[in-house]
Amino acid sequence: MGDFWITALLIAALFLLLGTGVWIGLSLVGVAWIGMQAFTSRPVGDAMAVTIWGSASSWTLTALPLFIWMGEILFRTRLSEDMFRGLAPWMERLPGRLLHTNIIGCTIFAAVSGSSAATAATIGKMTLPELAKRGYPEGITIGSLAGAGTLGLLIPPSIIMIVYGVTAEVSIAKLFIAGVLPGVLLAALFMGYVMAWALAHPGAIPPIERRTTFVQKLHASRHLIPVMLLIAAVLGSIYAGIATATEAAAFGVVGALAISATQGSLTRRTFTESLLGATRLYCMIALILAGASFLTLSMGYIGLPRHLAEWIGTLGLAPLALVLALMVFYIVLGCFLDGISMVVLTMAVILPTVQRAGIDLIWFGIFVVLVVEMAQITPPVGFNLFVLQGMTGKQITWIGKHTLPMFVLMIGAVLAIWFFPGIVTWLPQQMKLG
């Protein structure tokens, strides 16, 4: 049977399993088992056991549950409310005024949460009621929040970067550092769009309720001190080369517990809820990674990645054409799968092709995160859209329409890092990492 028909059969089996409601991780294991059993002579049982155990016991992966737990702890504190009180006075003179609290709030919270959905939910709980109370238009409020929430994946620490780093066997610390400037660029693009929208709709933005002096703004900024200290502890320890991503994640958990205790929100109940929430989310991710690891082994024995890479190589695509084709591929895939599944399902096939094209794997990791961000706001399986639908009661199509400009800006960011790769590669080159 030819490679095309083997691939078609395995993809059909995967969608059949997913369509019947089987968990993603178990679906991946099932497809891998079918592939090895039907198209190779290798005994399946021992290969599956060794591969899944190797994936589950990876030391590199220990940073993931710790960062998830840190985000869960902070989710249950007054951190988001304090951030709004600290940021709002500085936004009053910008076109769009308090709409920028969505973007800057997500940018700051993204630096202490590796989850896009958690970033959108946490900041949304804070800003949506406040902006609605002040009379800001719903469309631009929700659209800017959906777009800015995706920064949770790009600005470190990022769950998806850890998954990519483990899958592609590249330095997670370097990936974290590489995501900083693209994250700032994307936040600036979002803010620029909000300013342009506000200038084009001058009557839509409510007037300033009361002007604050510079001293009053500085006084309000004291509310930002806890989160800024936590960001400094987590990212500073990585950038200074004194901690690995896993050790920095441990610092983050301790810092988050300290903030929670200081605010009086650390109780037996919130501690237990945060631990259980982190455990549930990590178990889901670990099962997906284990299934994907076995699927990668199976595809390797069948030879599909090598053959696909050779086929794409024969197309003679220039590196830019390859990147654009992969962007379209991931955007389409994002209509059906969540970001982690997209990464672990495709890396075994895509990475040999990318390496053959001479594309830097750190740069490619940031590219993948950007296109996975697009998937977070792509119907019908855009996680940020689901989060905001639950919070606002709006239809996903309505939210998607107002998020479309942010999607277009993300495409612009992909083109920007292609033509100016130093946006991604400059910071990692400056840092001494152990």
* pLDDT per residue as tens digits for the range 7-22: 778 778 877 887 787 8
- Any domain includes 18: no
The predicted structure's pLDDT at residue 434:
46
The total domain count for the chain is: 1
Query: CB count, 10 Å around CB of 216?
Result: 12
Averaged pLDDT, 256-266 = 86
- Any domain includes 35: yes
Asked whether residue 254 carries a pLDDT value surpassing 80, the answer given is yes
- Note the maximum CA span of the chain: 75
Residue with tokens 């003679």: 316
* pLDDT per residue as tens digits for the range 69-121: 887 787 777 776 777 778 778 877 788 788 888 888 888 777 776 667 777 77
Nearest partner of 151 among 174, 128, 123, judged by Cα: 123
The predicted structure's pLDDT at residue 313:
63
- Any domain includes 304: yes
| Segment holding 365, helix H or strand E | helix 361-376
The predicted structure's pLDDT at residue 173:
85
Nearest partner of 364 among 295, 408, 421, judged by Cα: 421
Nearest partner of 253 among 61, 56, 64, judged by Cα: 64
Query: CB count, 10 Å around CB of 18?
Result: 18
- Any domain includes 13: no
Q: Which of 30-34, 198-202, 238-242, 266-270 has the lowest mean pLDDT?
A: 238-242
The predicted structure's pLDDT at residue 296:
72
Distance CA 174, CA 322 (A): 24
* pLDDT per residue as tens digits for the range 124-166: 777 787 788 888 888 889 988 888 888 877 887 787 888 899 8
Distance CA 400, CA 377 (A): 7
- Any domain includes 394: yes
Asked whether residue 401 carries a pLDDT value surpassing 80, the answer given is yes
The predicted structure's pLDDT at residue 309:
61
The predicted structure's pLDDT at residue 189:
94
Assess contact for 146 and 385: CB atoms under 8 A.
Answer: yes
User: Quick one: DSSP state of residue 112?
Assistant: T
Assess contact for 146 and 383: CB atoms under 8 A.
Answer: no
Residue 55 CA to chain centroid, in angstroms? Answer: 21
- Any domain includes 169: yes
* Cis peptide bond upstream of 352, omega within 30: no
Nearest partner of 97 among 183, 201, 184, 185, judged by Cα: 201
* pLDDT per residue as tens digits for the range 194-214: 999 988 888 778 777 667 777
How long, in residues, is the chain?
434
Question: pLDDT tier at 272 (50, 70, 90 boundaries)?
Answer: very high
- Any domain includes 194: yes
Distance CA 141, CA 124 (A): 10
Nearest partner of 346 among 384, 305, 301, 300, judged by Cα: 305
Distance CA 26, CA 51 (A): 14
Distance CA 22, CA 26 (A): 7
Question: pLDDT tier at 416 (50, 70, 90 boundaries)?
Answer: very high
Rounded mean pLDDT of the chain?
81
Structural domain including 49 reads: 24-201+210-430
Assess contact for 18 and 24: CB atoms under 8 A.
Answer: yes
- Any domain includes 11: no
| Segment holding 178, helix H or strand E | helix 172-178
Asked whether residue 334 carries a pLDDT value surpassing 90, the answer given is no
Distance CA 160, CA 156 (A): 10
All residues at 6 or more sequence positions from 68 whose CB lies less than 8 Å from its CB, including other chains: 114, 115, 159, 278, 281, 282
All residues at 6 or more sequence positions from 151 whose CB lies less than 8 Å from its CB, including other chains: 106, 107, 110, 116, 119, 183, 186, 187, 373
